[in-house]
Each structure stands twice: as structure tokens, then as C-alpha cells.
Structure 1
Amino acid sequence: MLRTTLIALLFLISTHSFAQFIVKGKVTDSETGDPIPFASVILKGTTTGISTDFEGYYQIEARSLTDSISAAYLGYISASKLLQNVAEQTVNFQLKPSDFEMEAFVFEAGENPAFEIIRRAVDRKKDFDKRSLSAYETKNYTKIEIDIDHVSEEFTQRKTVQKVTAVLDSIQQLTNDEGEKILPVFFSETLSKFYYRNNPELKKEIVEKSKITGVGITDGSTTSQITGSAFQEYNFYKNWLNIVEKEFVSPIADGWKNFYDYDLMDSVLVGKDSCYILQVYPLREQDLAFSGTIWINKETYALKQVDLSIPKEVNLNFIERIKIQQELVPTSAGPLIPSKSRVQIKIGQVTPKTAGFLAKFYTSADSIRVGEPKPTSFFNQAVTLKEDYNIADEEFWAANRQDPLSQEELAVLQMVDTLKRIPIVRFFSEGLKFFGTGYLNVGKADIGPWPGFFNYNNIEGVRLGMGGRTSLKFSNKWEIKAYGAYGFKDEKFKYSTQVTRILDRFHWTTLSLSAQKEIDQVGLEIAELQDNSIFLAASRFGTLRRPFFNTNQKLEFQREFFKGFLFFSNFKLSQFDPLFDFYYLEKGTGEYRSDFETTEAKVGLRYGRDEIIIINDNERSSFGPSKWPILQATYAKGFQWLGGDINYSKLTFYLYQRLNMGMLGVSRYELDAGKIFGEVPYPILKNHLGNETLFYTSAAFNTMNFNEFASDQYASLRYRHFFEGFLLNKIPLVKKLKWRAVANANVLFGSVSQKNVANSPTVDPYGNPLETFGRLDPKTPYVELGYGIENIFKFFRIDFFHRITYLDHTDAKPFAVKISGQIIL
């Protein structure tokens, strides 16, 4: 016992003698205030030093002190500070970012030693990729902050801005190290459980608690679903990472040598693991690739840490910097899980008279468990909210945060709460939301959509309209929509109403009843173009093509049986009343008729294996698929014995997929096929969508005229490819413009049976010629090829289309130029 006590006493004495001085502190980014992990802090003139942890903290224990201490990290200007001759002191560093420029590489004879390290890391990817686990779950804490920065002098001099700053002068102001004011506008915290299973690959996040404060944020349920960890996942063991809708190649991708060069900088002890430090450089400065530092375990060749940035030279718009820092820990089964991730996205000023934005995302994971996969039914909805997700006081958050809020973050919360109460801020934020969504919230209802408030065309003249819908505040089980419009030329009232009962929000199940009386156009029906709002609006101004009054009543039902698998059906009564010279020959009697009624029942199936769906208030919203295609099949039957005038059947098939082509860019294709059985008037046929407007749309054949072709059996392929910067980045002068090449190929096979041709007379009962429809030769497809440039002045796109076949048609356009506007990164 005495021996043990003496050994302990000697150990304490020796430890104290080896650590007479303690220097500790934090290293942060001077512009953003965020911690800089993995920075080197060293006593000047010695080899005594340490790296900062993920939160930027360090602590050095030394027997003696020098006169100063320095902090350094790649991409930042090194800094030094004087030390005091005291036993314990705190020294914080605020490092300024530097404009990093890649230096020329000079290697001696032989292979770059970093290549062998990368080669072994790539060979062992399957051992450490978390996707190789059959299932895992984590408890996650996520926080997001969005600030306005780079506030220009012209911006601050605006009267509306001065009204805001006058109020904010009464509270603590946040500034960066250069004295520029930072204006926080959003802050969120989320506690959630994240679940993953393989074969099939499925993910689910249950948001347990969420606290959101932000300017213009009134919808907590929708926002809470997208501020969790499910949308903040970055796995560098994938070959390609999707960031801001762009595909970036990982530094340890299978084809790493085509994109990167490396420097072996040093080896260092990270925790208990000895690691190689490798500097990463993109081979071409405008490629969608990273630069920065990665740490690779010397024994296992697993990733230990990453600190990577996307350089400003990359072909992105508005974004000045994207920075990703990540710390990985092994699971009990071996594969790695990110324990902490930090992402910064800095958006520059669009014009010199505006401001920039800075978005910060932080996620930490603990309670990592590897176990048996949950049943597939558990993953039916990608993100769900617990009933009391938004009910928690500050004591709860203080006890359950995995990381406490800093003083800067507490100041952010205070400022955002103050900002959102300022009347002028509320006015502009609500106005921006109204413009973006089309609806303005008023109590328990939303007024809109604003594009339908005014219209002008040759049938209605000036048309004024107004509509609305109930919101989640009204009910989470019932949704009511209504819209009315009046044309001052035709002096007729149009309307649409719909009542929806939400029967099950988990297995999304709804029952709807609707009624409508509206002017529509053959081949340009509103129901088919709702997702192309600009094209729809352009096609309904001016001269309407083959207009008709569409009066219908419809009963709809849909249910999602399991994740991605949706069943839908409807029963519809419709009446077609033409507002143009139209006749068809009635089957059996051979008499001329101009109007008809249909009674139609439809059933359909839709499957998107990895499609991400969230419940946006009382509607489903899709974030699209990431890898697998979306398939849809429908069957419709028209009944004459239930009050309709025509018997027919329709069978359709649709497939959509997004393809990552690696360094070549991204492709999207749509396959559409169908067949109509029975003798029908041509408005019931598939009237293929042409485009006589100046605007480009991916939904149409852009050199085809409106109503030029119709089919009762058809198959089409619309293929679009986005080269990103692949081609134009290699042209010295053009690459500075950051233009991006695009390509299109549209192919259509179709035909019309002779019985449906006979149903469409070429003259009316009085012998006057009638407009009918064009027919495709089943052996000759309609083909158009296109190419173009997007990202012109960061907003505009121009496409050039060549019509390859059917050039002998009247008014055929062998060449067309289409323009469009888009906000892309």
C-alpha cells in the first residue's frame, strides 16, 4: 500500500515538473467566426505543439515557455501572439483566409509517394464505407445558421435597410475580424434519430425536437423536415458527392488519378491513430473537385479526418467558397461513421449594390448503433416529425445539445428574434415568399396563385381571377381549394373547386372531390402543364390554339402502400365544348358532332425506389430520385353506358431517370409510351406537345408546331445532357465566362389507326375545310437535335434546335432558337 502511494506521489510530482506551463485557447476563422479544426499551434522556436480539435480548441503543456506562440493552417494567413510568463493563460487566434494558389509540382524520378497511400485507401474503401453495413442508427444534433454578410455601402444607404439597422443598434452587433457587420437571418437546432438499412438502401430520419427562428419563417413543420441531418450527409467513400445539386468527385474516388494530384505533407498522431497528412489538389482548377487536406490512418488506410474546400475557380455561380470538415469514427463492425461534420457555403454579392450570404451547417452524431435492419415499411416516409417536436424549453436544449452554443451563437439568436419583429423586414420577407410560392398567407388560408390574377387572350380579352386554399392552421385532415375568373370579352365565369380529405399521413392516403369549368386548349391542357408554369402562362396569353370549354367533375383516391410505391385512381365526368371549328363523325350514325361527353375511370401505379418525399403542409413534395428511375403506368377506360358518348381505353407508361456521367456531366432522360384503343375524336388522342413560343421547355418538341401531330400509339424519348464545365472549361478565354454546354435529343415514334383518321372529317357539314391533325409515319420517327449554352451572365440559357425529319410539312421549322432564364449554381 505504501509502495503504491509513493509511486502515485512520484508520478504527480514528475507530471507537474513536466507541465509547469499551460497555454490553451481556440482558433477560429476571422470572417465567419467558425472554429478551425486540425490547425497547428506551436511554441515558436520549439517543436512543442499540437493540433486543434474539431471545435478549434487546443491545450499545450510545457516545462518552459518561449516569448510567443503561433497558429497556422493551409488556406489561412499564419498568426503569432506574445506569451506571458504565467502558469496558465488563454490565447485565441482569429486567422484570416488567404487566396490559396496551387503551386507547380516538381517530382524527382519515381512515383509520387502519396499515390501509393491513395491507392491503398481506395483498395480498402469497401471495408470502411458505411454503406457496407446492413443497418445502423445514430442520434444526431444539427444546427444551421444563415447570415447576410459583405454588406455593401450602397446597400446600407437604402432607406429600408437604414430602418432595420436603426433598430439593431440597440442590441449586440456581430462583426467579423475586419469590422464588417454580419446580419443573421436564420438559426435552427434539431435533435433527431437517423436510420439506415441496406438491400434495399433506405434512410429515415425522425425529428424528435426542433427549434427554428428566422426572418419570414412561418411554417415550422416543413422547415423542420429539411433542417435535420438527412439533408446534411456527405460520404467521401462515394465516388461522387452531390452538393448544391452538383456532382463533386471524391479525393478517394476510383478514378482519382484523372482528377487529383497529392502531396504527402507529414505524419501526425490524431487521437490514438498515427495518420498520413495529404494535401489534395484538383488537376484542373474549374473541375468540380476539392482542394485541402485529408488524414489517412497509417495502419488501416481509413479516412480519419477531412478538411476540404471547393475553390472559387470552380465553375459555380455566386458561390465563393464551400468548405467541408469532417471527423470519422469506426463502428463496432468496422465501417466509419462521421461523428462531426461542418459545412460552410459562402455566397457572394450578385451585384455590387447587394449583399452576400453565409450558410453554416453543423451535425454531430453519437449513440451509434449497428444492428438488425428495420423492416422496409418503417422507411415509408423519409422524414417524420414527432407530435411534440416543437415543444421544448431552453432547459431541455441546454441538457440535450451535444455541443453548447457559443457566445456568438447566442447573440445570433437574439438578433434574429429582433429582426423578424421589425415591420419593414416582415413586409419584404412575406412579399418574397408570395412571389416564390405564388400564395400569400392570411390567417388560416392562402391567397393565390398570383400568376392567375391577370391574363389576356383573344377569347376572353382581359381576364381577372382570384383563388385560395386552406392552410395547415385550418386543418391537417381537410384541404379546400377554390379559384374563380371572369373574361370581359366572352363575359363568362370560370371556376375550379376541390375538397380533399387526408385519411392517413403516414401511408399518404387522400380522397378528393373536384369540379371545374375552364377554357383549355387541345394539346396544351392545364392539367398536363402544371409543372411548367412559365410555358403554361406563355401559351395562355395572346391567341389560344384550338380552345374549348372543359367542364368536369372528378373523384380521386391515392395511397402510398410502401416507400416509393403509390397507387392512384380517379373517376371523371367531362364535357368538351369547342370554341373553334371542330367536328367528328359519330360512330354508328356517321353524323357530324362538335361536342361530346366522356365518363372515364383511371388507375395507376408510380414507383420511385429512392425518391425523397416530404409532407409539405397538406401536400406531398418530391425532391426527386438520386439514382434509381421513377416509373409510372396508368390505365384509363371510357364508358359509354355510364353517360359518356365514347368507348375507349388508354394505356400509358412513363420512366424518368437522372444519370451521373462522372467527368462528362449529368444526363436526364424521359421515356413516354402509350396506346389508345377504340374509335375516338382527335382531342382524345395523344396530341404531342409542340412549342411555338420563344421559350425553351423540356416537356415539348421544340421545333414542332402546336397540334402538328397526334397519335393513338406512340413512344418518345427526350434526352438532355448537361456537360457542366467539361468542354468549355478547356477553352482559355471561354472558361472565364463559366459558360456550360448542353445537348438535347428528342425522338418520337407514332401512328394513327385508319378508323380514327376516318373519324376526323376534313370538311364541315357545309363543305368548309376543317383543321385536323398531322400523322406520323410509323416507320419514320420525328427527330430533333439541339445544343446550347447555359449560364450566360449566370442567368440565361440559349438553345439551338435542328429538325431532322418531316421537313416537308407546311410551316415546318427546320431550325429554332429558344431562350430561358434560370437561377443555377
Structure 2
Amino acid sequence: MKLFCFLTLFFTLTIQAQFQINGIVTDPSSKPLPFATISTSDNNNTITDVDGKFILNSTVRPASFTVSYIGFQTKTIVILNDKKFYPVALLQQTDNLKEVVVSNENPALTIIKKVIASRDKNDPQKKLRSFEYKTYNKLIVTANQDSIDGRIDSSAAYKDLNKKSINIDSSDYKFKEIISRQHLFQTEKVSQYQFGNNKLKETILGTKMAGFNQPVYEIIAFNLQSISIYDPKYELFETKYENPISNGAPNSYNYKLLDSVNIKGRTTYMIYFKNKKKRKSSGLEGVLYIDQENFAVAKAVMRIKGILDISGIHEFEYVPSEKIWFQSNTTFKIVKGKNDDDIKILGGTIQFDGDVEENFEKRKKAASDFTYLLSESNSFDIHYNTTTPIKNPSLYIEIADDASKKPESFWQAYRKENLDLKSQRSYLLLDSLSIRNRVEKRLGIGRKIINGFYPIGPVDLDLKKIVSYNNYEGFRLGLGGITNERFSKNFRLEGYGAYGTKDGVFKYSAGSGVLVDKSTNTWFNVYYTDDVREIASTVFAVDKRVFKIYDPRPINISTFYEYTGWRTNLQSKFIPKTEAVLELSRNYIEPKFDYLFNLNGKLYSSYVMTTAMFSIVWAPFSDFMQTPTGRTESDKRFPRFTFQYTQTLPDVLGNDFNFGKIDFKAEYEKKYLNRQKTSLLLQAGYAFGDVPLTHLYNTAPNNLTKETVVQRITFSGRNAFETMYFNEFFSSQYLMFQIKHGFDRIKILKKVRPSLVLVTRMAWGHLENPEQHVGPVYKTLDKGFFESGIELNKIYKGLGLAGFYRYGPNQLLKFENNIAVKISYVIDLGL
């Protein structure tokens, strides 16, 4: 969701006076020299990228610039009035950098090993007991007007001597006119960072976002780059890479000593690093500036180049009293990179140049190809070893209620320099542009659609309720929705109605809720429902709503029970890093299949259940954000644990049975730097007392009882047993374990790039008092159930295939009956 909002702003806004020079630095054989130093007489400097290219910005026009690179002669270039691009070829020299380490080992690697060994004493979050500081951040999406041709191109065609037609393409010209007046997007933020007890918290004191009355909180929480350069996994644009100074980094990176430079009056080594893997976009590369005395990082340049060309720069100030380098400034930049496919977002297309043959004619660059995003942060008011307690330390980000309402005097006090005329215009022009193009409204609609709703005035239409299919109801046609903030921020109404074309029965639900506490998202809700539900299914009340255009598994379900009654609950996030639901309900239950429940000789074909239920999910490693509208999980991390307890209430409101259920789920997911991912799921349930079959466990089967493999081909489910037949097993206690390992997508053709996933599932179970259940024929899971399979997802347009095999004690006699072939469909929004 955060990435969706961020890219929406970055690219959809682009469909709308600073001096700069560009160039490339090469050796005598025209081979690019990465990370050569470019500097001017007024101490403005930059370095070349991995392709030897550089962009040097300056508020004034310098007379010249100097290019230096270890092992080559320094060269000074005079800047000419009519020249913007400077190719610079350096000549090699015989003298080398004086090596300080006497060793046969690569000197750069020796230095890096010392950096790793000294990491804890140089990391402020390890060396200092506590600290706090403030940061001013400005983020813009803009383009360099001098890079855009800006001519009105014309071509003449003569039909005869008397007629002439002229075709004019003025898009670049118009774009340059716009970019000369304003930025395409702009936001400012002032934050206070506090560190103590090994926790870092950001409190946003003020935020200002051009074109938006209410800040987009997903953008505020978006992690552009790691705050600490010493994190084991360095993060750029929400993607984690192995840090070049982590313990295992020497196995993953090559290092080269480039130069010895002075930073803040201290001598540093300039070390270039690059991932050892040969394939493109395999990891970070960049330059580390290492203090020669204490082997701390004095400056860092980190870069990845792929679909987007992304770089992050960390600058530090040396603090003599603490003998530590403390981060003072960070810079983050994104420009369009190269990719084989165009990306489509909200109806707009981002075009890329793919890897093409030399003789293939590339796409003509549009003006928007020069668009880039730049985020700069400056730290100030720094205090070390503070004693101020951190309020709500379990929160990673907290946004003050008045953060978006700060007066101009607030911003003038915190800005490093006053906004230039172009930035001032940007707020005015982007506000009017946002209103005219309904940017804020379109982004809001996009958020709703991602979660399965479409806003119509004060009501959000529930897209999941429109149409579905199962073997009992046939086509289920319906309409549902919930009121949104336009109706009320503190009160809501919701409901739905649906009709089954096969069973011919109308189902409905109606409910309302009132906000009890905004900061903890505490709601009190009441519902009345008359509907059907799959028998023996496990539903965790705190599970997040997962929206799919289709829900494949219920298509083949034919055994349901009807439930009619009311429920009331309290849902809240008042406990740190949790979400909980406390619910009381009373329902009339009627099985819609041939079943009787035998309790002490009395046969029940329907019954009443009055239950109390408590459900809670705990995400101890996730980051949470507190906004003026409530608390949200800004960064979902694993493991996460879900617990649910349900108990019937004897002799309360006509309850018929006395039983309890304990349900547990543990989820873990690990993403690797090579784009592979491992997912683990452990789920268990224990039902005790007099429990009818409708409320036992079936462990999510998803296979049809048909003769041939072809007849059993259906859509694969989510965490379902694909070779287990519907209603084959029932349990009152069960344990299920699933492991999935997904590999990076394999490119077969330009449009055919499947994702290979290996899957193994297993389950054990037991059924108490089987004599109580009259009617269905079933088995138990005492000996266990095992299946493994291969998924080839997203082969083409999201479609894929999967194959599974059943083995172990419950393997069937016929070989073909143990095989299941499934169709998968994964929606890929390109986000």
C-alpha cells in the first residue's frame, strides 16, 4: 500500500534555477571510471556513478571543475557558456596511493574488516546510551530544465507546389515551460528522533504536502533509506540489501581502494564496493569513506540500478567529545532506469528502454524521462546521552495532531534556507493542479480499490459482494457497502444483501459501529446476519480482509450451514503491537446438508449457540505508526502470532451445547537478497466439549471427488490442501504446517516470466466422540496427511499452473487419485 501511494505520486504527477553541467569520465581507452571525484573551487563536489557519468548542480556558475581518480592524473576543466556536457578522459600516472597495511591481502578488504570489527564502538545506537535530534526534510519531484531540449519540433511535407502541411510536436516545450516555473511534487517534514533502550522513535512535528489538504500518511511512513548506515541490512526504497560492512559482507562484495580524501579535517580512505554477483541489479554498489584513525564511516554513497536508478548518500559530522561520527545529512534520489516492460499505474504508463540489440531503434525519450525525485534531510539540535523519557516507545512513528496545520513561521524557523521562488510557486500551483485533476480524490479511490471497495459519495461499495459462485448457492449476486468518512468519522453503517441462483434464498446482514477511541482505533459494533458459512472452517476475527476479484476455493464447496442472529464486539489496538476483538454472539444454526448431532441420545437437526470470543494478533517486530486518524501497521514484519478462544455460555439465551475452542496461528516470512522468499505457517486448533460437526475442523481441503485428473482441475486456494477431497477428514484437534519457498522469476520470453514456488503441507488430527455425528462419511487425521507440489505462478498475464502429489499413510490406491493439477491466478499491479 505504501509503495502504491508513493509510485502513484511520483509518476502520475509527472504528466504535467539551478545551474547544471553533465559529463562522463573515462580512461584513455574510453572505459568509464566509476566514482571519480568532481569538485569546484567553491567546495561543491559530487562523484561519478557506476557508468562514469556525473551531474553537478550549483547555485552559481563556477569557472571550472576538477576531476580526480586514484591512479590517474588530476584534470581541471574550464566551464564554457554554451556547453552543458563534458566528456573527460584522464591519463594514468605511475605513483599509487600509499598503503597503510603491510599485507598480501587486498588493502581495501583489510580496511573493511577493521570497519566490521569496530562497528559497535562507532555505531551511535550501540555506543551511546541515548540521543535525540531534529531533522528537516524536503522532498521534490522535478526535472532539470536544461536537460530538456524544449524546441517546438516541426517537419514540413509538400503535397504540391501550392500546399504545405506542418506537424508540430510541442510536448517537450510545454513540459520545459512548466518545469521552469514549479516542481511536479513537493513536501516538507520536521521530525524529532529519540533513541533509548535500543529503540528509535520518530515524532513528526510538522508536515506539509503540496496538493493535499490531508497528508498522505503512507508517503510519510515510506522508508526511502536506512536511518543508520550500520544496520546489517541496508534499505533503499523499501528493499533490503546486505550492508557492505555487515559480518558476512566480505563474502558478497568486492572492494577497491580508490583514494585518500579529507572530510571534516580528518583523513579518510575512499573504498569502492560492488556485489560479486555478475547479474544486473543483484545488489548494492557505491563508495564508503572510512576514517583512517577509528575506522568509522565518515560518508557513504549507496546505489542500485534497475527498473529505477536509486542512490542514497549519508554525510556525518565528527563529534570530538563522544569520539564518534554522527549523521548530519542524507540525500536520496530516484531517476528512471531500464526495464524490459512498461509499468502501468492508475491508467498511466511509465515507459522504459529494455535491453535491446545494438541495431534496434530505441524509444524516443520524452521530456518526462528527465524527471527525478530528490529527498534531502538535515539534522540539528543534537543531544547525546539524554534523560528525557520516550513517550509511547512501542510506536515507530508518531504524527502530532496539528502536524499538518503549522503556520509559515514554524517552517521558517526550521528550514536551512528560505524556499526559492520556484518552491514557493510549487505549493500554490500544485494545490490548484491537484484540485483541477482531482489527484487527492483519485489517490483515495485507489486506496479503497486495493482493499476491495469503491467509494460512491458517503458509501464505499463492497466489491467482494457483487458476484461469486459456489456449488450450494450457485451464482451469488449481491450488493453491500459501508459508510465512509464523508458520512461520519465517528459512526458507521454497513450491510449487504445477496441472492443465490441455485438455492433460491436471500441472505443479508446489517450493522453499525461507533468510534470509542480514535488513537487506538477502538470501535463498538453491533450486527444482525442471516447467511451461510462453510462447515468446519476456521475464521480468525482479527484476520485482515484480503480482497480478490475472485475467491477460488469456495467455488467447489457444497456443504454449508445457515446462521441467523446477532453479534456485538469491541475491536481495538490499545495493547502495543496488537489488534484484538472481544465478541458476544447468539445464532440459530441449521446445517444445509444431511446431518444430525447426537447428544445423550437426543438428535439435533438445528441448534442455538450463544458464545463469547476473544481474538488477538501480536506482531512484536512490526513497526506501527500513530496518525491523527488512528494507529496503523506501517511495516509488516514476522513472525506474527494469532490466538483465539471461543466459549459457549451454558443456559444463556437458549444456548444448547457446552463447548470451547482454542485456535492458534504463527506466520513467518523471510525475504532473501536474491529475491527468493520462504514462508512458514503453523496452525492448530483444539475443540473440547459437545461440538457439532459444523464447528469442528476440516483443515481447508480443495479437491473435487471426480474420476480423472482433468475433471479435478480447478483454481488453487490460499493455504489449502490441494489433494485433500472436500469433507474427507474432520478433526476436533489438529495441527497443520506449511512451508513455501519461492524463487526469483525466470525469464523465458519477454512476456513469459514464471515464478517457481515449492510447497509442502502436512497435518495431523484426532476426532473425539465420533459417534455424535450422524450422516456424513469421513476419515480422521490420526496418521497424518502429507502433500508436496510445484507452483509456476504468473506464467502469462497473472495466470499460472500448479501440480501437487499426495503421499504418506493416507495415500490413495490409484496413483492418479493422488495427483492434483490447479490453475493459479495472481494479480500483479506492477507495484
TM-score range, shorter chain: 0.7 to 0.9
1:391 pairs with 384, 405, 408, which one?
Answer: 405
Instruction: Look up the SS of the partner of 2:723 in the other structure.
Output: coil
Deviation for aligned residue 1:587: 0.6
TM-score, normalized by length of structure 2?
0.75
For 2:779, the equivalent position in structure 1 comes to 774
For 2:342, the equivalent position in structure 1 comes to 351
Deviation for aligned residue 1:94: 7.1
1:633 pairs with 611, 633, 643, which one?
Answer: 643
Deviation for aligned residue 1:798: 4.8
**Per the alignment, do residues 387 and 681 of structure 1 end up closer, same or farther by CA in structure 2, a change over 3 Å counting?**
same
**Per the alignment, do residues 821 and 606 of structure 1 end up closer, same or farther by CA in structure 2, a change over 3 Å counting?**
closer
The yes-or-no answer on 1:241 pairing with 2:225 is no
Partners of 1:539 and 1:705 in 2: how far apart?
Answer: 12
For 2:268, the equivalent position in structure 1 comes to 275
User: Contact between 2:794 and 2:800, CA under 8 Å: does it hold in 1?
Assistant: yes
Letter in 2 for 1:291: E
For 2:709, the equivalent position in structure 1 comes to none
Deviation for aligned residue 1:121: 0.7
Partners of 1:427 and 1:478 in 2: how far apart?
Answer: 22
For 1:421, the equivalent position in structure 2 comes to 435
For 1:161, the equivalent position in structure 2 comes to none
Deviation for aligned residue 1:662: 6.3
1:400 pairs with 409, 414, 417, which one?
Answer: 414
**Per the alignment, do residues 136 and 793 of structure 1 end up closer, same or farther by CA in structure 2, a change over 3 Å counting?**
farther
**Per the alignment, do residues 641 and 388 of structure 1 end up closer, same or farther by CA in structure 2, a change over 3 Å counting?**
same
**Per the alignment, do residues 577 and 587 of structure 1 end up closer, same or farther by CA in structure 2, a change over 3 Å counting?**
same
Partners of 2:821 and 2:37 in 1: how far apart?
Answer: 59
Matches within 5 A, 1:276-315: 276-286=269-279, 288-312=282-306
Query: Identity over the aligned pairs, expressed in percent?
Result: 20
Partners of 1:185 and 1:550 in 2: how far apart?
Answer: 54
Report the count of equivalent residues.
Answer: 721
Letter in 1 for 2:203: I
For 1:144, the equivalent position in structure 2 comes to 139
Partners of 2:737 and 2:143 in 1: how far apart?
Answer: 44
For 1:197, the equivalent position in structure 2 comes to 196
Partners of 1:788 and 1:459 in 2: how far apart?
Answer: 29
Letter in 2 for 1:752: L
More divergent stretch after superposition (357-366 vs 713-722): 357-366
Instruction: Look up the SS of the partner of 2:108 in the other structure.
Output: helix
Deviation for aligned residue 1:204: 2.9
User: Contact between 1:136 and 1:371, CA under 8 Å: does it hold in 2?
Assistant: yes
**Per the alignment, do residues 397 and 613 of structure 1 end up closer, same or farther by CA in structure 2, a change over 3 Å counting?**
same
User: Contact between 2:224 and 2:236, CA under 8 Å: does it hold in 1?
Assistant: no
For 2:710, the equivalent position in structure 1 comes to none
User: Contact between 1:171 and 1:415, CA under 8 Å: does it hold in 2?
Assistant: no
For 1:703, the equivalent position in structure 2 comes to 723
Matches within 5 A, 1:447-486: 447-456=460-469, 459-460=472-473, 463-486=476-499
For 2:327, the equivalent position in structure 1 comes to 338
For 1:768, the equivalent position in structure 2 comes to none
**Per the alignment, do residues 663 and 556 of structure 1 end up closer, same or farther by CA in structure 2, a change over 3 Å counting?**
same
**Per the alignment, do residues 655 and 263 of structure 1 end up closer, same or farther by CA in structure 2, a change over 3 Å counting?**
same
Instruction: Look up the SS of the partner of 1:119 in the other structure.
Output: helix
Partners of 2:430 and 2:800 in 1: how far apart?
Answer: 37
**Per the alignment, do residues 170 and 230 of structure 1 end up closer, same or farther by CA in structure 2, a change over 3 Å counting?**
closer
Deviation for aligned residue 1:496: 2.4
User: Contact between 1:503 and 1:510, CA under 8 Å: does it hold in 2?
Assistant: yes
Partners of 2:649 and 2:107 in 1: how far apart?
Answer: 75
Matches within 5 A, 1:59-98: 69=65, 82=78
User: Contact between 1:691 and 1:702, CA under 8 Å: does it hold in 2?
Assistant: yes
TM-score, normalized by length of structure 1?
0.75
Matches within 5 A, 1:521-532: 521-523=534-536, 531-532=545-546
Matches within 5 A, 1:379-778: 379-405=393-419, 409-410=423-424, 412-413=426-427, 416-422=430-436, 432-433=446-447, 435-443=449-457, 445-456=458-469, 459-460=472-473, 463-487=476-500, 490=503, 492-523=505-536, 531-534=545-548, 537-541=551-555, 544-579=557-592, 581-591=593-603, 593-614=604-625, 621-623=632-634, 625-626=636-637, 629-642=639-652, 643-659=654-670, 665-692=676-703, 694-724=714-744, 741-753=756-768, 755=769, 757-762=770-775, 771-777=776-782
Instruction: Look up the SS of the partner of 1:506 in the other structure.
Output: coil
Deviation for aligned residue 1:308: 1.9
User: Contact between 1:39 and 1:72, CA under 8 Å: does it hold in 2?
Assistant: yes
Partners of 1:95 and 1:189 in 2: how far apart?
Answer: 34
Partners of 1:282 and 1:566 in 2: how far apart?
Answer: 40
Matches within 5 A, 1:113-262: 113-132=107-126, 133-146=128-141, 169=174, 172-174=177-179, 186-198=185-197, 201-214=198-211, 220=214, 223-224=216-217, 226-227=219-220, 232-262=225-255
More divergent stretch after superposition (663-672 vs 202-211): 663-672
For 2:258, the equivalent position in structure 1 comes to 265
**Per the alignment, do residues 60 and 544 of structure 1 end up closer, same or farther by CA in structure 2, a change over 3 Å counting?**
closer
User: Contact between 1:144 and 1:227, CA under 8 Å: does it hold in 2?
Assistant: no
**Per the alignment, do residues 322 and 59 of structure 1 end up closer, same or farther by CA in structure 2, a change over 3 Å counting?**
closer
The yes-or-no answer on 1:320 pairing with 2:308 is yes
Letter in 2 for 1:128: N
CA offsets, 1:382-416, max 9 Å, x none? 33332222213445434422354456655654553
How large is the RMSD of aligned CA atoms in angstroms?
Answer: 4.6
User: Contact between 2:519 and 2:628, CA under 8 Å: does it hold in 1?
Assistant: no
CA offsets, 1:749-808, max 9 Å, x none? 21112x1x112223xxxxxxxx4443112xx32222234455656956654433223221
User: Contact between 1:234 and 1:241, CA under 8 Å: does it hold in 2?
Assistant: no
Partners of 2:384 and 2:471 in 1: how far apart?
Answer: 66
Deviation for aligned residue 1:685: 0.6
User: Contact between 2:520 and 2:631, CA under 8 Å: does it hold in 1?
Assistant: no
Deviation for aligned residue 1:371: 3.3
Partners of 2:177 and 2:254 in 1: how far apart?
Answer: 45
